[in-house]
Each structure stands twice: as structure tokens, then as C-alpha cells.
Structure 1
């Protein structure tokens, strides 16, 4: 972090450090680290564990003697193979980002071969790191740079704008709030109408469960669905633990 993300870079496309908040967070002792064993962990268990981290983040924030808007939690999933980074970092980020934003948090994804482009330069790759990790922090005003992208699906853009407006409303000026609200409304109007597709020859649609082939597919998916239901129930009841399954979360420690 000190060698790259806290330093300026010639390809960054703007002045200042790659992340202008990393060094102040480090100096304020608000940059925390944790790690857990992700080796051979099933992907659904991995996602279930990461869905508990917003609760851990909020608990750590509440227990700090002095609150900090720069509080950040770097999470290292240990034991991942190089060929697993795309799934356990990139895909996990796409799955988890909407949930984290609903909680008022942002999630950053880093690994050695990240192809994520910089906000100010298409040739710069700011999310590359020696080791795979995810970084959690509270949503900030500058996060407008990282949402509502032209390549983002319309439904996701609506969700991101609504979350951004809800969590930053008190810090936005009336003009900025109106601009974000208009962007959200325009994106929502771009959504296709939810009209049922016409059925060929006027036939009634066949129930999926009445199709033998579909019954076979549903039967094969049943264990995964049951696992997902357990994870969701655990989250809804507030009884989930980051230590579920094979996960071992290391003690959060202040950066030295």
C-alpha cells in the first residue's frame, strides 16, 4: 500500500496519490486489516461469509473510541489460487456490491491481474495488488465517480444512484441532490416495461415443474438453493457469523 496506492503515478490521469484517502486513513490509525482462510472454500460459503462483513464493520466502527469517516477494513482471503482471483474477487465484487451499497458501504476489489480501469485514465489499472484482497469503507461523496457508469446495467445504475442519494443526502447540496435524483429517475425510465412475452400459437405456458427435464434440473439445484436459503435466513435473523464454514477470521488490528 505504501509503495503504490499511497503514491502518485504518472499514468493516473490526475495529480495526487492513487488513493488520496489511504495515507490519511493510515495516519489516523483507521486502516484495519483482517484475514481468513479461503482455501478450498465453496463459493456459496465464501459469499455468505462476506455478506456478514458489513455487520463486523459497523461493530468495529461503533467500538472505536474516536469515530472516523476514514475507517477502512482490508480483508485478505488467504489460500486462493491465481486462477481463482476472477471468481473469488471480481465475481464476488459484482455479487456483493449492491448489498454493500444498500448498507451504506463501498467495496473495492484488488488482485495482481485486475483489469479494472482508472476513473481518469483508461490505461491505468488502480486495483492491482500483490495479494488478493477486498477493502470495505463507508460511502463518501466522491463515490459518484464509481457509480452510474455507462457500461453498468440500467437496473444496477438505478440501485446505485438511489443508495448514493440515501446515504449522502445530508452532505449533498440541494443542486447535487436534484442532479442525482434526476439521474436516477432518467435511468429508471430507461428500464424496459415488464410485459409478458406472447406465447406462440396461443398455447398456455407449460409449468416448469411439469417438465421432466426441468424437474431434473431443479433437483440438481436443490442443495445449492437450500444453502442459499440458510445463508439468507442467517443474515435476516442476525445470527450469521463470519466464522461460518471453514472461515477463520483473523483479529482486526490497527495498521502499524
Structure 2
């Protein structure tokens, strides 16, 4: 286990072995089981071939899949502070592994204290954090029992539903552009990172056009 006064972090192996405080163990174990069952498997409603998350199985296999929780469950730990702390821990863990494996590093912050019937609070936490995370080359996504965000390949498939509210952190990869097109700031961060040779003026025009097309599709 690693962590600080705001967040605790365990490897998947530690969770499997029960090396987790009793107050956290049921929730992180439930999410680990869900990840090993749902994220690694194909789903006929997904809209594409392959597992729901193509990175989860390799991440588990290489021991780069972590689960985290707030240090306390009585509301004394601020979730926003924990998210910032977790971002710092992610960078530290990333620096310990080879560059070729960094895209497999994943941390799931399990948040059972949030409302399981209403995803508003979790959605807001994710929105608040995403600008800074994407600018730093990271993705932060939300999963919730009633998350209504449509799937990328099938709008009727609610891919981001999980038995316990959580935030997932991983490295931003080149395939993430479709998840960033609805926000010009995020798209600009993406192109600055993955297409730095495009002149800034052209890059800005491209971002505006992509973001505009995405909004048109959403309102069509």
C-alpha cells in the first residue's frame, strides 16, 4: 500500500489478498471483480469488436492496475483534494515504470460515499478535474451505477456504468481524440501533444472545426 493523508492506493494483488483496511475492502474488491469481468470482456452492445476497455487486461497482467480510496470514509477527506493527490501519485508511479508500459498504468478511485442513485456529484468532480488532467497528458473518466453518458460506438450502450461510483485515471493516448472533441480546450491539448508540428494557427482552426462538427452531430 502507498498513499498519504488524503488517499490510499493498493495494487490489484493486494486487494485480492485482502491486504486492505476492512472499511475499504468490500468496495475495492467489488470494483476489481467488476473490472475483471466487465472491462476485459467483449459486449454485443458495445458497437465494436474487442473488450470494453482494451487496456485493462494488459494492465492487470503487468501489475499496473491499482485501486484507491479516500483515507477516511466519514467525510473528513475532501474528494477534490484526494483527486489532486492521486494525480501526483500517478506521476510518481509512472516514473517508476518503462515508457512503453506507461499507457497501461491505471488507478481507479473508488468512491462508495457518493450517491449511488444520482451521478451529478461525480460528474461534476470529473468535469472540474478534466481540463487539468488532459493538459498534463492524463485522462480522468467517471463510472457510476446510473451514468447515462452514451457509448462512443453505440449511444444506447451505457458503457460507463459500474456498481460503485469511481473515477478512473490513465495516460492520454492517441486513440482518445473522440473523447475530447466536444471541448475545444481538450482538443487543443490533444493536438499540442500528439501533433506538435502542426502550426498553432492551423491547429486552432482544426480544433474549432472538429468541435463544431461534434456539436452539430449532438444536436442533429
1:110 partnered with 2:143? yes
Q: Which residue of 1 aligns with 2:14?
A: none
Q: Which deviations, in whole Å up to 9, do the C-alpha atoms of 1:99-146 show, x marking residues without a partner?
A: 111111000101111111100001101111111111101100110110
Looking at structure 1, the residues matched to 211 and 116 of structure 2 have their Cα atoms a distance apart, in angstroms, of 38
Q: Which structure would you say has the larger RCO, counting Cα contacts within 8 Å and 6 or more residues apart?
A: 1
Q: Which residue of 1 aligns with 2:75?
A: 40
Q: Which residue of 2 aligns with 1:168?
A: 194
Does structure 1 conserve the Cα–Cα contact (< 8 Å) formed by 2:117 and 2:145? no
1:61 partnered with 2:94? yes
**Match for residue 183 of structure 1 among 187, 196, 206:** 206
Looking at structure 2, the residues matched to 124 and 60 of structure 1 have their Cα atoms a distance apart, in angstroms, of 33
Q: Which residue of 2 aligns with 1:80?
A: 114
Looking at structure 2, the residues matched to 135 and 178 of structure 1 have their Cα atoms a distance apart, in angstroms, of 33
**Match for residue 132 of structure 1 among 160, 165, 169:** 165
Instruction: Measure how far apart 1:185 and its partner are.
Output: 4.7
1:17 partnered with 2:17? no
**Match for residue 6 of structure 1 among 32, 37, 40:** 40
What is the TM-score normalised by the length of structure 2?
A: 0.70
Q: Which residue of 2 aligns with 1:254?
A: none
Does structure 2 conserve the Cα–Cα contact (< 8 Å) formed by 1:38 and 1:80? no
Instruction: Measure how far apart 1:86 and its partner are.
Output: 2.4
Q: SS at 2:169's partner residue?
A: strand
Q: Which residue of 1 aligns with 2:84?
A: 51
User: Radius of gyration: which is bigger?
Assistant: 1
Distance 1:188 1:148, change over 3 A: closer
1:122 partnered with 2:155? yes
Q: Which deviations, in whole Å up to 9, do the C-alpha atoms of 1:41-97 show, x marking residues without a partner?
A: 58xx32133123221100111123x4412111111124334246420x111111111
Looking at structure 1, the residues matched to 74 and 114 of structure 2 have their Cα atoms a distance apart, in angstroms, of 6
